[in-house]
Chains A and B, each alone.
Chain A
């Protein structure tokens, strides 16, 4: 939020900034200019200056339209437009004729608009051409006008914006009349960037939607979902996913979700369609903030300022002994120093702190007393969570605050079994504290104590080189006398399985944007950056609550500019977007869903293809499995026979495209390996079918949910049966001339009445005949199973096997095994097999396990083998054991009596 301090203060401030930049302007690059222009109060206000050089004249006029503004904004808007545009077109003769045309267009446009505005609120409808004039004007202007001029222009503008940001004082009231123009221009420019035919009206106020909560459902007529959400956020609205009683409006498009509609009904929510929504933007002015809210905001600001001051103070004091802080990364410089400063995960951090504080007592209690959180029976804690949310920071902070000296081992240290065992100070024998006399601090400014805390960072990164590391760590934890904090990103990893069970799990979650906002605002304030709150929210959302990334982004941005607006933040976070891999399920859901290919979708073909590349081996399979599960949007307006025919045509197109895709796939994976055909494969196998079949349905709850492709299972089954069939054919070859296919097609059905049916009809008495026939063809018992398995339809193995009584089957097996049988050939001996048999004596130890298990288990296993020996030998051996025990018992008794006697004698 723009700082709503008193307008005077604001104007003063802006004055300062102006002066600041004005002074520098000659040397600063264009980049700076644009940033200056697009100063604080939002992107929107940059427009006026960009439209023409002569705006300077118009800017002084700003106050003129004055009171008429509040309701008649549109007309005021037009008038200003008219003033601007002709000037710009006349004054600049250099620009290309094109631009002139544009200017003319805009010249006539406003009149049309003026007419319409009078009669209705459809005003936004015809404004779609409006964006065009400013755009070329801007493009042409920048090269032609000198920098100093542009900065000059910037001055008035920043002035304006600053005031907008402030509450509306009487003076400010005049300004809104202008604002809409720039706002609209900017908004439509944004829309144009995405090539959409969107007619965004000029908003009544840049914060026209503030205080409102929106829910979008269904498909809007011309806005894509993202655009609509963006609009709502840009103008200060909140957007939530599900309607609730606190929702102000639900914007309902075509094919709205039934559950959302139900929620609307239940909560009696007001609904809007797209035009209504746009209308709201065009007409609504936010209510003035009441005292309470204002006070709250002021209080927040105060807090931010105080925090910043506190930071500065701390920095100054630390400067005495640390190096220059300006050399440090922001992430280090602004790392939280107190628990209060940790963003989010309050409960987890508190628990960690509590656990560390309780540590001495837990040691004394031998880890028997669970404590308040049940944590005190653990010697280690496993913190898990996504990167950049402060896991390491909190661990260090908690350890320091609890008086421990943190020793950190992370992935940059080798952490093999030996090193873990030797390099850590688990028995707590550090002499550091003693050596330094207990009061010295080490290089990092930590008071050295005799208490250490081991922080094993990035434990899921213990791999290849750190063989046995996890096992050693687990062993370490079991006997540790110092607290161990393990940190991992993914606690579900197989590697960490043993670790998870020995540690107390503290899952850290991504903090909400609100939790981070004030912290970032403080830092920004301290760095003298002007960042409105929505922009920070946008950055945080873009970085998926990764605080570290947000800070890094900001510190980079700071190098070029001190301000950042909504669109810049968007592009910035887009640039820094993490390459998150979606699951094939999500991608399929997205591709076949109603939005990706709808008329309002803004995704390019490239972006759609990108989805395929998330998982290029699975996506075609998923698409083939699921493309028939939608209600295609392309036929939703048809009905009756046409609909059916059209749908079949679409299915046909999709299926033939998938078929094409397979041909391309064959070329990619053939001996020629045309990998360059991957994009074509993406289109044929995934994008094109989805473009035909997209629509509703296929959701998780629907009757036809998206499934994992059965092709994989079926394929491996086919491979298995083919292998077995080949085996049968090889055996039968001595008698039969046919190849594999012939065997399957004709012999399997022909053998059925000879070797399977008798068992069904006659039961056990037929076993002998069956075995004779099998011997005739060198078939063994397993081949009999295969032949049954190969049947389809009424010869399906399940059906057939159900008909044969279990007794008969066992009779067949027993009898077959009892007799001698002709053997066509012996299977080639695979070299590996005998080795396997040897290994099979004991369970093959997993390598990782072998290291983990260590001596203890070895002893155990020895014990076991001993025990086995005893058991395997006959019962006689047990007797001496028993006697031995008895003897032992007797001895003990004797001793006892002896001592008793002694005592007595004493």
Chain B
């Protein structure tokens, strides 16, 4: 059985549960001949991809749902082979250039040109153009983004681009100005409850409002997470009543452990233990930003009011450094030591006060 998230995913614009005005606009755009390049952005779990899929279906009909995956091999100028997974239907193609890291420019250039230069052969197609969906657009390198710029204008007749990103801040302005920006905000609590209710009904049971409330609170606006947690809870205690203990994902509890370690002790040995844990998180594919954010949240929860601003300030600084730099662990560690130093100073100040 598929998980509920995937089982009950809306397939068309009409099925969407929230952001109705957005759905209406997308429908209008799809029916007009003047479909623009688009940039969907919003937090993860808000429904960007779902909306993109629905829009594609609105544009091209059922054919857009028949997708297949292809693996293509690209050659870098240095003759290195790159495997890129391409999801495509007859009407659109979906790529995730960030899979190949720094070589994303090669992928963008080759694929876009290839698509732009071939016309739609299917005479019965509703539109002359094909759509290229680019996932994780905010992780595109500067070179790749620059490579996009000109193609977006030049091949407008054959191709539309839909970018999907978490935030627009990492996209260069020329790209943003060429797209219709569509913000997919995280659903509100009531909207999320609505969805949970819908899922429960489809599964053939009712959900306790309190349980729904708890799940929604835990999810922090991430509907995917909410539904996944909902299902896990249902598996744990089929009745969904009583005190619910929402199981946190493994990496989150691990991050919390790290945060607790930082607060418990501040010493070089402890830094090295924390470093080992950070290495483990990083090597198990938890993005460094998430690690930093989770730990910082937890640390801030536990420390005195006067320290919170400082800790977050430094977290922000080191997050920027992580993005600019190569070796994430260096910056994470620097932040950890900074927090330890701040905390220790604070502790000893308290002590001094007590002595006075």
A-B interaction: yes
Interface residues of A (CB under 8 A from B): 624, 628-629, 641, 644-645, 647-649, 651-652, 655-656, 658-659, 661-663, 665-666, 669, 671, 710-711, 714-715, 717-718, 721-722, 725-726, 730-731, 733-742, 744-751, 753-754, 772-773, 776-777, 790-795, 824-828, 830
Q: Contact check: which of A628, A661, A791, A828 meets B72 at CB < 8 Å?
A: A828
Q: Mark B258-292, 1 if CB is under 8 A from A, else 0.
A: 00000000111101100010011111111100100
- Stretch in B1-9, B26-34, B179-187, B304-312 touching the partner: B1-9
Given A753-B235, A825-B69, are A726 and B85 also a contact pair (CB < 8 Å)? Answer: yes
Contacts A624-B327, A793-B250 known; list 18 others, CB within 8 Å: A644-B348, A645-B345, A652-B337, A655-B330, A656-B334, A659-B330, A662-B327, A714-B279, A721-B285, A735-B2, A744-B285, A746-B225, A747-B228, A750-B3, A791-B284, A793-B253, A793-B254, A793-B257
| B73 at the binding interface (Cβ < 8 Å) | yes
| B214 at the binding interface (Cβ < 8 Å) | no
Residue of B nearest to A657 (CB): B334
Cβ contact within 8 Å between A714 and B69: no
Chain B residues within an 8 Å CB radius of A746 = 45, 222, 224-225, 228, 249
Chain A: minimal CB distance from B280 (Å):
6
Given A648-B344, A734-B69, are A742 and B224 also a contact pair (CB < 8 Å)? Answer: yes
User: 19 A-B contacts, Cβ less than 8 Å apart?
Assistant: A648-B266, A648-B340, A651-B337, A652-B338, A655-B333, A656-B334, A658-B330, A662-B321, A666-B326, A711-B329, A714-B329, A746-B222, A747-B228, A749-B250, A750-B232, A793-B250, A793-B254, A795-B250, A825-B68
Cβ contact within 8 Å between B283 and A733: no
Cβ contact within 8 Å between B224 and A645: no
Residue of A nearest to B344 (CB): A648
Count chain A CB atoms within 10 A of each CB in B257, B281, B284 and give the residue with the most.
B284
Q: Contact check: which of B228, B235, B254 meets A792 at CB < 8 Å?
A: B254
Docked pose: A879 CA to B348 CA in angstroms:
91
Chain A: minimal CB distance from B255 (Å):
9
| B70 at the binding interface (Cβ < 8 Å) | yes
Docked pose: A790 CA to B250 CA in angstroms:
10
Chain A residues within an 8 Å CB radius of B344 = 644-645, 648
Docked pose: A748 CA to B225 CA in angstroms:
12
Chain A residues within an 8 Å CB radius of B340 = 648, 651
The number of residues on chain B lying at the interface, defined by a beta carbon within 8 Å of a beta carbon of chain A, is 78
Interface of B is mostly: helix
Chain B residues within an 8 Å CB radius of A656 = 334, 338
Chain A residues within an 8 Å CB radius of B71 = 730, 825-828
B residues 293-318 near A (Cβ < 8 Å) are 318
Count chain B CB atoms within 10 A of each CB in A663, A669, A746 and give the residue with the most.
A746
Chain B: minimal CB distance from A795 (Å):
4
Cβ contact within 8 Å between B285 and A828: no
Cβ contact within 8 Å between B251 and A662: no
Chain A residues within an 8 Å CB radius of B351 = 641
Chain B residues within an 8 Å CB radius of A669 = 326
Chain A: minimal CB distance from B104 (Å):
13
Cβ contact within 8 Å between B283 and A659: no
Docked pose: A613 CA to B51 CA in angstroms:
54
Q: Mark B79-112, 1 if CB is under 8 A from A, else 0.
A: 0010101010000000010010000000000000
Docked pose: A741 CA to B293 CA in angstroms:
15
Chain A residues within an 8 Å CB radius of B225 = 746
Docked pose: A750 CA to B326 CA in angstroms:
31
Q: Contact check: which of B81, B326, B341 meets A665 at CB < 8 Å?
A: B326
Q: Contact check: which of B1, B50, B282, B324 meets A663 at CB < 8 Å?
A: B324
| B130 at the binding interface (Cβ < 8 Å) | no
| B152 at the binding interface (Cβ < 8 Å) | no
Chain A residues within an 8 Å CB radius of B249 = 745-746, 748-749
Chain A residues within an 8 Å CB radius of B257 = 793
Chain A residues within an 8 Å CB radius of B232 = 750, 753
Residue of A nearest to B251 (CB): A792
| B53 at the binding interface (Cβ < 8 Å) | yes
| B128 at the binding interface (Cβ < 8 Å) | no
Chain A: minimal CB distance from B163 (Å):
13
Docked pose: A776 CA to B1 CA in angstroms:
6
Chain A residues within an 8 Å CB radius of B267 = 644
Chain A residues within an 8 Å CB radius of B158 = none
| B331 at the binding interface (Cβ < 8 Å) | yes
Residue of B nearest to A778 (CB): B69
| B143 at the binding interface (Cβ < 8 Å) | yes
Cβ contact within 8 Å between A714 and B282: yes
Chain B residues within an 8 Å CB radius of A711 = 279, 327, 329
Chain A: minimal CB distance from B170 (Å):
15
Given A656-B334, A659-B325, A749-B250, are A718 and B285 also a contact pair (CB < 8 Å)? Answer: yes
Docked pose: A717 CA to B286 CA in angstroms:
13
Docked pose: A669 CA to B102 CA in angstroms:
12
Residue of A nearest to B67 (CB): A734
Q: Contact check: which of A629, A730, A742, A792 meets B284 at CB < 8 Å?
A: A792
| B136 at the binding interface (Cβ < 8 Å) | yes
Docked pose: A112 CA to B112 CA in angstroms:
88
Docked pose: A715 CA to B284 CA in angstroms:
10
B residues 198-256 near A (Cβ < 8 Å) are 222, 224-225, 228-229, 231-232, 235, 247, 249-251, 253-254
| B135 at the binding interface (Cβ < 8 Å) | yes
Chain A: minimal CB distance from B7 (Å):
9
Residue of B nearest to A725 (CB): B285
Docked pose: A717 CA to B281 CA in angstroms:
11
Docked pose: A714 CA to B286 CA in angstroms:
13
Q: Contact check: which of A750, A791, A826 meets B231 at CB < 8 Å?
A: A750
Docked pose: A412 CA to B190 CA in angstroms:
85
Docked pose: A861 CA to B82 CA in angstroms:
39
Docked pose: A745 CA to B281 CA in angstroms:
11
Docked pose: A747 CA to B331 CA in angstroms:
28
Cβ contact within 8 Å between B282 and A718: yes
Chain A residues within an 8 Å CB radius of B337 = 648, 651-652, 655
Cβ contact within 8 Å between A624 and B330: yes
Chain A residues within an 8 Å CB radius of B96 = 739-740
Q: Contact check: which of A644, A655, A738 meets B334 at CB < 8 Å?
A: A655
Cβ contact within 8 Å between B6 and A735: yes
Chain B: minimal CB distance from A891 (Å):
62
| B149 at the binding interface (Cβ < 8 Å) | no
Chain B residues within an 8 Å CB radius of A736 = 5-6
| B49 at the binding interface (Cβ < 8 Å) | yes
Docked pose: A652 CA to B272 CA in angstroms:
14
Cβ contact within 8 Å between B290 and A741: yes
Docked pose: A790 CA to B281 CA in angstroms:
9
Given A721-B284, A733-B87, are A738 and B235 also a contact pair (CB < 8 Å)? Answer: no
Residue of A nearest to B52 (CB): A737
Docked pose: A645 CA to B281 CA in angstroms:
29
Residue of A nearest to B282 (CB): A718
Chain B: minimal CB distance from A8 (Å):
68
Chain B: minimal CB distance from A639 (Å):
14
Residue of B nearest to A662 (CB): B325
Residue of B nearest to A773 (CB): B1
Chain A residues within an 8 Å CB radius of B247 = 749
Docked pose: A387 CA to B150 CA in angstroms:
61
Q: For the complex of A and B, list the 6 residue pairs with the smallest distance between their C-beta atoms, beginning with the closest.
A: A737-B49, A730-B85, A825-B69, A655-B334, A749-B249, A662-B325
Docked pose: A792 CA to B283 CA in angstroms:
10
Q: Mark B41-71, 1 if CB is under 8 A from A, else 0.
A: 0001100011001000000000000011111
Cβ contact within 8 Å between B279 and A710: yes
Chain A residues within an 8 Å CB radius of B266 = 644, 648
Given A647-B268, A741-B290, are A671 and B285 also a contact pair (CB < 8 Å)? Answer: no
Cβ contact within 8 Å between B287 and A794: no
Cβ contact within 8 Å between A722 and B326: no
